[in-house]
Amino acid sequence: MKRIAALAILFVFFAAGSQALAHPPSDIIITYDPASKILKVVITHQVGNPQAHFINKVDVFLNGKEIITQHISRQDNNNSQAVSYLVPDALGPGKLSVKAYCSISGRLEKEIEFK
């Protein structure tokens, strides 16, 4: 019985520790080219294993209305996730915002204005 209790406590300790390593993205760099209507996004999210801890979802909003949702199965590399989208309805002036979600915990949102 003591062994089971000790294993349970150990499991809780390690589970809590892995959650402590989880963190939201640290930055989002957004660029939009009105001529080509291409939105480029680089999400900074430093991780040890981009297959287990990664950016798993990106939402794009045009003037407050959600226009794109992308689910991602793994991060590009240990430092960041890059995505690009064609946004033909982005007629200026307006705002584009991006929300990026960590697969374990947290999210970050950034916004730019365009003409």
Rg (CA), the chain: 18
State the pLDDT at residue 5: 54
Q: What gap in Å lies between CA 32 and CA 74, rounded to an integer?
A: 24
Q: Locate the domains of the chain by residue range.
A: 23-114
Q: What CATH fold (topology level) applies to the domain 23-114? A: Immunoglobulin-like (2.60.40)
CA 54 distance to own-chain centroid: 8
Type of residue numbered 28: I
pLDDT tens, residue by residue, 8-49: 554 444 443 444 468 999 999 999 999 999 999 999 999 999
pLDDT tens for each residue of 73-108:
999 999 999 999 999 999 989 999 999 999 999 999
Residue 2 — pLDDT band, cuts 50, 70, 90? low
pTM above threshold 0.85: no
Q: Is the pLDDT of residue 110 over 60?
A: yes
* DSSP codes of every residue in 43-87: EE---S-TTTS-EEEEEEEETTEEEEEEE-SS-SSSSEEEEEEE-
